[in-house]
Structure 1
Amino acid sequence: MTMTGVESVPRERAIALDRMAVDPPIDTVVGLLAIQAARFPDREFLRFAEGSWTFGEIDDWTSRLAQRLVSEDGIGAGDRVAIMLPNVVQWPIAWLSILKAGGVAVPVNSSYQRADLEFVLRDSGARVMFTDDGHSPLVDEVRAANGDLADVRIVEAASRGELAQYPADRPDVAIAPDTLANLQYTSGTTGFPKACMLTHDYWVRLGWICAGAAGLGSGDVVLTSQPFSYMDPQWNTSLCLTVGAPLVVLPRFSASGFMADVRRHRATFCYVLGSMPTLLFKQPPSPEDRDNDLRLVLCSAIPVTLHAQLEQRWGTPWREIFGMTESGADLVSLPESTVDVGSGRLGQPVPTKQVRVVDPEGREVAAGESGELITSGRPMMLGYWNRPEDTAEVLRDGWLHTGDVAVREPDGYRLVGRIKDMVRRGGENIASAEVERVLERDDTVVATAVVGVPDELFGEEVKAFVQLAPGVEESRATAEQIVDGARTELARFKIPRYVEFVADFPRTPSERVSKPALQARSAEHPGITYDLQPPRTAGNGN
Structure 2
Amino acid sequence: MADRRSDVPDTVPALVRWAAARFGDREFLRFPDVSLSFAQADAESDRLAGALAATGVRPGDRVAVMLDNVPGWPLSWLAVLKAGAVTVPVNVRYRAADLEHVLRDSGAVATVTSAEHAGHVPRGGHVVHTLDALTGSHPAPEISPSPNDVANFQYTSGTTGFPKACMLTHAYWLRTARVVADLVDLRDDDVMLIAQAYSYMDPQWTTLLCLMGGIPQVVLPRFSASGFWRSAREHGATLTYVLGTMPLLMYKQPPDPLDRHNRMRLVLCSGIAPRLHAAFEERWGAPWRELYGSTESGPDLLSAPDARDQVGTGSMGLPPPGKEVTLDEETGEILVRGEPMMTGYWNHPEATAHAFRGGWYHTGDLGVRNPDGQIRHAGRLKDMVRRGGENISCAEVERVLGEHPAVLNVALVPVPDELFGELPKAFVQLRPGYEASGPTAASVAEHAARRLAPFKVPAFVEFVDGFRLTPSARIEKRHLMRPDQRTGAFRVTLPADKERA
Same fold (TM over 0.5): yes
Separation (CA, whole Å) in 1 of partners of 2:104 and 2:255? 48
Cα offset, 1:120, TM superposition: 0.9
Instruction: After superposition, give the CA deviation of every residue in 1:347-405 in whole Å (9 maximum; x if it has no partner).
Output: 01111201111134xxxxxxxxx711100111100000000011011012431000111
Q: CA deviation at 1:81?
A: 0.3
- Aligned equivalent of 1:496: none
Q: 1:177 touches 1:201 (CA, 8 Å); kept in 2?
A: yes
454, 461, 476: which is aligned to 1:522? Answer: 461
Counterparts of 1:375 and 1:184, CA distance in 2: 19
- The verdict on how the C-alpha distance between 1:38 and 1:379 changes in structure 2, with shifts beyond 3 A counting, is same
Moved more, 24-33 or 270-279: 24-33
Residue 419 in structure 1 maps to residue 402 in structure 2? no
Match of 1:372 in 2: 333
**Contact 1:14-1:218 at 8 Å conserved across structures:** no
CA drift of 1:530 comes to: 4.4
State the alpha-carbon separation in 2 of the partners of residues 452 and 93 from structure 1.
38
DSSP 3-state at the match of 1:277: helix
Residue 165 of structure 1 aligns with an amino acid whose one-letter code is S
Residue number in structure 1 paired with 2:497: none
Alpha-carbon contact 1:24-1:208 (below 8 Å) kept = no
Name 2:137's counterpart in structure 1.
Answer: 165
**Quick check: 1:353–1:378 contact (8 Å CA) kept in 2?**
yes
The verdict on how the C-alpha distance between 1:188 and 1:201 changes in structure 2, with shifts beyond 3 A counting, is closer
Shift of 1:199: 0.4
Aligned ranges 1:500-511 → 2 under 5 Å? none
Residues 265 and 359 (structure 1 numbering): CA distance in 2 closer, same or farther, change over 3 Å? same
Secondary structure class of the residue paired with 2:115? coil
**Is 1:153 aligned to residue 127 of structure 2?**
yes
CA distance in 2, matches of 1:407, 1:24: 39
Cα distance in structure 2, aligned partners of 1:294 and 1:221: 9
User: How far apart are 1:121 and its partner, in Å?
Assistant: 0.8
CA contact (8 A) 1:178 1:201 kept: yes
Which whole-Å deviations, capped at 9, do the CAs of 1:275-324 have from their partners, x for residues lacking one? 11111111000100000010000000001110000000000000000000
Tell me the CA shift for residue 165 of structure 1.
2.4
Number of the residue aligned with 1:492: none
Q: Structure 2: how far apart are the matches of 1:236 and 1:374? A: 25
CA distance in 2, matches of 1:62, 1:374: 38
Q: C-alpha displacement at 1:330, in angstroms?
A: 0.3
In the alignment, which residue of structure 1 is the partner of 2:210?
240
* Alpha-carbon shift at residue 523 of structure 1 (Å): 4.3
Match of 1:269 in 2: 239
Post-superposition shift, 1:158?
Answer: 3.2
CA contact (8 A) 2:159 2:383 kept: no
Cα deviations across residues 449-497 of structure 1 (Å, max 9, x unaligned)?
389999xxxxxxxxxxxxxxxxxxxxxxxxxxxxxxxxxxxxxxxxxxx
The answer to whether structure 1 residue 134 and structure 2 residue 74 are counterparts is: no
Percent of aligned positions that are identical: 49
The answer to whether the aligner puts 1:94 opposite 2:76 as a matched pair is: yes
**Residues 1:395 and 2:356 aligned together:** yes
Equivalent in the alignment of 2:284: 314
What's the CA shift for 1:219? 1.9
- Give the whole-Å Cα distance in 2 for the aligned partners of 1:236 and 1:153: 30
Structure whose alpha-carbon radius of gyration is higher: 1
Q: 2:100 aligns with which of 95, 99, 118?
A: 118
| Aligned equivalents of 1:90, 1:99: Cα separation in 2 | 14
Q: Write the distance in 2 (CA, Å) between the matches of 1:156 and 1:420.
A: 37
Label 1:182 to 1:283 Cα distance change in 2 as closer, same or farther (>3 A): same
2:64 corresponds to 1:82: yes
Inter-partner Cα distance in structure 2 for 1:401 and 1:420: 10
The one-letter code sitting in structure 1 at the alignment partner of 2:89 is P
Q: Could you say which residue in structure 2 is the equivalent of 1:381?
A: 342
Aligned-partner residue type, residue 415 of structure 1: H
Shift of 1:419: 2.1
Structure 1 stretches of 4+ with a deviation exceeding 4 A read 450-454, 528-532
- Residue 189 (structure 1) shift: 7.8
Q: What is the distance in 2 between the residues matched to 1:217 and 1:416?
A: 35
Aligned to 1:183: 153
Q: Which amino acid aligns with 1:375?
A: V
Q: Any stretches of 5+ residues in structure 2 without a counterpart?
A: 385-412, 428-444, 464-484, 490-501
CA contact (8 A) 1:347 1:411 kept: no
What's the CA shift string for 1:94-125, capped at 9, x where partnerless? 00000000000000100011111111111000
**Post-superposition shift, 1:164?**
5.4
Tell me the distance in 2 between the aligned counterparts of 1:251 and 1:38. 29
| Aligned mates of 2:382, 2:158 — CA distance in 1 | 13
Local SS of the residue matching 1:129 = strand
Q: List alignment gaps of at least 5 residues for structure 1.
A: 1-12, 144-149, 361-369, 423-431, 441-445, 455-501, 533-542
Contact 1:404-1:418 within 8 A present in 2 as well: yes
**CA–CA distance in 1 between the matches of 2:426 and 2:46?**
54
Contact 2:192 2:238 in 1 (8 A): yes
Residue 399 of structure 2: aligned partner: none
Alignment RMSD (CA, Å): 3.0
Q: How far 1:69 moved relative to its partner?
A: 1.3
Change (3 A) 1:41 1:357: same
Cα distance in 1, alignment partners of residues 36 and 426 from structure 2: 52
Q: 2:10 aligns with which of 17, 27, 30?
A: 27
The counterpart of 2:166, out of the listed 177, 181, 196, is: 196
Distance 1:288 1:401, change over 3 A: same
Does the Cα contact within 8 Å between 2:280 and 2:288 map onto a contact in 1? yes
Residue of structure 1 equivalent to 2:48: 65
Match in the other structure for 2:326: 356
Distance 2:78 2:420 in 1: 36
- The alignment status of 1:298 with 2:268, answered yes or no, reads yes
Q: Please report how far the alpha carbon of residue 447 of structure 1 lies from its aligned counterpart in structure 2 after TM superposition.
A: 3.6
Give TM-score, length-normalised by structure 2: 0.78
Residue 76 of structure 1: SS of its match in structure 2? coil
Q: Whole-Å Cα distance in 2 between the matches of residues 24 and 190 of structure 1?
A: 40
Measure, in 2, the Cα distance between the counterparts of 1:392 and 1:223: 37
Mapped to 1, the partners of 2:293 and 2:332 lie a distance apart of 17
Question: Which residue identity lines up with residue 87 of structure 2 in the other structure?
Answer: A
**Cα distance in 2, alignment partners of residues 451 and 104 from structure 1:** 32
**Aligned-partner Cα distance in 2 for 1:211–1:88:** 24
CA distance in 2 between counterparts of 1:286 and 1:189 reads 41
Q: What amino acid is the match of 2:154? A: Q
1:531 to 1:129, Cα distance in 2 relative to 1, 3 A? closer
Give the aligned length: 418
Q: CA deviation at 1:15?
A: 7.0
1-structure distance, mates of 2:353, 2:100:
26
- 1:174 counterpart SS class: coil
Aligned-pair CA distance for 1:26:
1.3
